[in-house]
A and B are shown apart, each in its own frame.
Chain A
């Protein structure tokens, strides 16, 4: 059975889209305010959310909306494969500022690694699975396809939640897609480029 894209979620330009359906729209341009409004709208009810850095907030929001809208339970052997350009630049700048001002805050420091976002998604969804975070200059569909197919073919995962989670201040774009051994959208470069 071929692995195809069964569902996706995108958060971009104040919109939250699940499988072509616009679930939420907000004209708020400030990311922190936008994501807080979305958190309330989607009733995430996950208090840890407020402590997170912007990258984790974006990744957790996107994955939560996607998983909440699935008709079947997420396979526990779903790998996480995230990519972006700016790593966790916002929290890095904040941590750097604290150091310059004289004292580092442990609550910020723990978020100064991009893969913390994988940890947050794993914790929230109790996913003990293959996890990795990669950085590219731009969205890289070829890499995402190759690595996703390899994880499934070698049975290291039954499904893969993969995508691009980019945020630098108020400029954000998160596209996560679920790849399963089911019928869906073909896992092809042009299809991913259409979604992003």
Chain B
């Protein structure tokens, strides 16, 4: 069982933002879903740490990419050729 406080904490971890009203809605839904997930407790076996597959490598060849202008085209918030983001510190 998760409490409204737990759900608030998860929302904080996920940077998802949640209102008080939504806590009352999401919490019972999570409990119903997590109760269903409990059937995994009885699953036997493990997932193998290695599989019969090998990595597929390729040479690191330089190919044309997006220009800075193309990469920045989808935001109005830019400055001196960079994306502008909210303050981190």
A, B co-complexed = no
| Interface, chain B (partner A; CB < 8 A) | none
| Interface, chain A (partner B; CB < 8 A) | none
